[in-house]
């Protein structure tokens, strides 16, 4: 479509500055002009003029720990039981749902099968499927006995993982994933309390293995993300060049100091949604309060809150994304992370939105053109019916997203968001 002028909007540009009344002109797939006040941009410059009716215009959100191939299972090994054809369709449906939930970009944190992310990303890029921008991930590369190894001596069972032990197996596995077309490599460097034989405090990979993964991935221009709950796994990740470190709830003072020293290079993702919902909302799936205590999940949530309050003070970049895609963390509810950042970590609503936009754009390696309402940036935009700074929880309500624009194309048209159907802003 031709140039689009969005007028009478409150521009939340995600720079961290206060929102302001203004207008924005989109031409092609870029933001051409951002103006303060109304009537500053000549109407004849636009083919389409959209009256924002005082709604909030902000960047599209970035899901920084995304598993589009996680399909609402209650046990990890269930992902291995889904045939690849059906799994591809379910992944595509989740990608569409994420776009409809305001996530115009997703940084994939692991694919449940080797090519699921890749195929869906390619189809989205070709215009064959609706969905967000994607950085496609490898499956979770894990050590024997680590998180994701569902095998037993008497029983072979597939999960969401590729098993690789030692630097040479890591080298081959990473190269294979790169050959197939991934953007991100995922390593499980620690265990998890869902796995009694490899709990969260256990570090399952060693320096030479993590270093090998990073050397190969970076040589090919790819990024590496790690599942790192234990303090030692965090230190291994920082020391060996990992780009994005997830969880980190048992980071000690030394680990925090190392992350702070590397804060211009690394990103963190607490993945707090899964912990929160496991503690408070997983009862229907058999995770009772007693089970929560036995697994140590309440302790893990408390430690996450402590660590990320400290991370905030140290100015380390943090992205939203809470391991959504399990039965009690359904896809499409990913924006709940914003309120968790406010309620649990002490972020202001603005700071939480910056994590979901500006820092997400930088994680996507598109920091100079994605994640802000700024002239020359890509036109990934949301028009929100209400003020998310007054009530951050409105970002979870898809009915509040009057417009979703990705790459300058309107996916959800605000003109169908009739004035009489609007939810009155408080």
pLDDT digits (tens, 9 = 90+) for 31-45: 999 999 988 898 889
Asked if 35 contacts 53 with a C-beta cutoff of 8 angstroms, the reply is no
Predicted pLDDT at 125: 98
Q: Which two tokens stand for residue 222?
A: 């790819």
Contacts of 237 (CB under 8 A, 6+ apart): 189, 210, 226, 228, 245
Res. 424: pLDDT tops 70: no
Per-residue pLDDT reduced to its tens digit, 54-111: 999 999 999 999 999 999 999 888 999 999 999 999 999 999 999 999 999 999 999 9
- Is the pLDDT at 221 greater than 90? The verdict is yes
Between 336-345 and 349-356, two packed helices, what is the crossing angle to 10 degrees? Answer: 130
Place of tokens 């697994």: 295
Section 378-401 average pLDDT: 97
The predicted pLDDT at position 418 comes to: 57
d(CA 46, CA 17): 27
Q: Is 75 exposed, middle or buried (0-12, 13-18, 19+ CB in 10 A)?
A: middle
pLDDT value of residue 420:
45
Given this model, what pLDDT does residue 213 score?
98
**pLDDT classification of 423: cutoffs 50, 70, 90:** very low
Looking at residue 39, its pLDDT comes to 86
Given this model, what pLDDT does residue 67 score? Answer: 98
For the ranges 71-85, 254-268, 322-336, the lowest mean pLDDT is seen at 71-85
- Give the dihedral of Cα atoms 26, 30, 36, 40; nearest 10 deg: -40
Main-chain phi, psi angles of 15, to 5 degrees: -80, -15
Q: Could you tell me what percentage of the chain is helix, strand and coil, using 3-state DSSP and rounding each to the nearest 5?
A: 35, 25, 40
Confidence of residue 15 (pLDDT cuts 50, 70, 90): very high
Full-model pTM:
0.95
Give the distance between the most distant pair of CA atoms in the chain: 73
Phi then psi for residue 76, to 5 deg, are: -55, -40
Listed in sequence order, the residues at least 6 apart from 200 whose beta carbon sits closer than 8 Å to its beta carbon are 190, 191, 192, 193, 229, 230, 247, 249, 250, 296, 300
What local confidence, expressed as pLDDT, does residue 425 receive?
A: 39
pLDDT tens column, 149-177: 888 889 888 888 999 999 999 999 999 99
Say if residue 419's pLDDT is above 80.
Answer: no
Give, rounded to a whole angstrom, the gap between the first and last alpha carbons of the chain. Answer: 34
pLDDT greater than 70 at residue 266? yes
Cα 200 to Cα 193: distance, rounded to the nearest angstrom? 5
């Amino acid at each position: 479509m031709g140039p689009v002028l969005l007028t009478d909007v409150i521009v939340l540009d995600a720079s961290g500055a206060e929102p302001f009344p203004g207008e924005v002109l989109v031409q092609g797939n870029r933001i051409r002009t951002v103006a303060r006040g109304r009537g500053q941009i000549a109407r004849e410059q636009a083919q389409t003029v959209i009256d924002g009716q005082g709604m909030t215009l902000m960047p599209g959100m970035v899901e920084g720990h995304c598993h589009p191939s996680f399909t609402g299972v209650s046990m990890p090994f269930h992902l291995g039981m889904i045939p690849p054809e059906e799994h591809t369709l379910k992944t595509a449906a989740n990608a569409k749902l994420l776009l409809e939930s305001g996530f115009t970009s997703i940084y994939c944190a692991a694919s449940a099968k080797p090519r699921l992310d890749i195929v869906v990303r390619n189809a989205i890029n070709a215009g064959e499927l609706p969905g967000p921008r994607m950085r496609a991930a490898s499956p979770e590369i894990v050590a024997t006995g680590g998180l994701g190894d569902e095998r037993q001596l008497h029983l072979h069972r597939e999960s969401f993982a590729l098993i690789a032990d030692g630097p040479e197996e890591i080298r081959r596995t990473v190269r294979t994933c790169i050959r197939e077309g991934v953007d991100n490599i995922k390593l499980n460097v620690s265990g998890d309390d869902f796995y009694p034989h490899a709990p969260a405090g256990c570090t399952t990979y060693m320096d030479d293995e993590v270093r090998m993964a990073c050397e190969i991935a970076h040589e090919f221009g790819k990024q590496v993300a790690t599942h790192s709950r234990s303090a030692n796994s965090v230190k291994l990740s920082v020391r060996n060049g990992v780009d994005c470190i997830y969880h980190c709830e048992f980071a000690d003072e030394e680990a925090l100091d190392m992350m702070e020293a590397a804060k211009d290079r690394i990103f963190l993702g607490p993945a707090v949604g899964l912990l929160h919902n496991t503690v408070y909302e997983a009862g229907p799936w058999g995770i009772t309060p007693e089970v929560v205590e036995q697994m140590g999940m309440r302790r893990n949530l408390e430690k996450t809150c402590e660590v990320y309050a400290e991370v905030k003070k140290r100015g380390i970049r943090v992205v939203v994304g809470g391991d959504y895609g399990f039965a009690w963390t359904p896809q499409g509810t990913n924006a709940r992370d914003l309120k968790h950042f406010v309620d649990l970590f002490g972020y202001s609503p603005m700071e939480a939105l910056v994590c979901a936009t500006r820092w997400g754009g930088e994680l996507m390696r598109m920091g100079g053109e994605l994640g802000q309402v700024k002239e020359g940036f890509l036109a990934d935009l949301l028009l929100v019916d209400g003020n998310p700074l007054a009530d951050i929880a409105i970002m979870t309500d898809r009915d509040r997203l009057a417009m979703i624009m990705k790459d300058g194309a309107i996916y959800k048209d605000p003109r169908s968001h009739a004035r009489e159907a609007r939810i009155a802003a408080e």
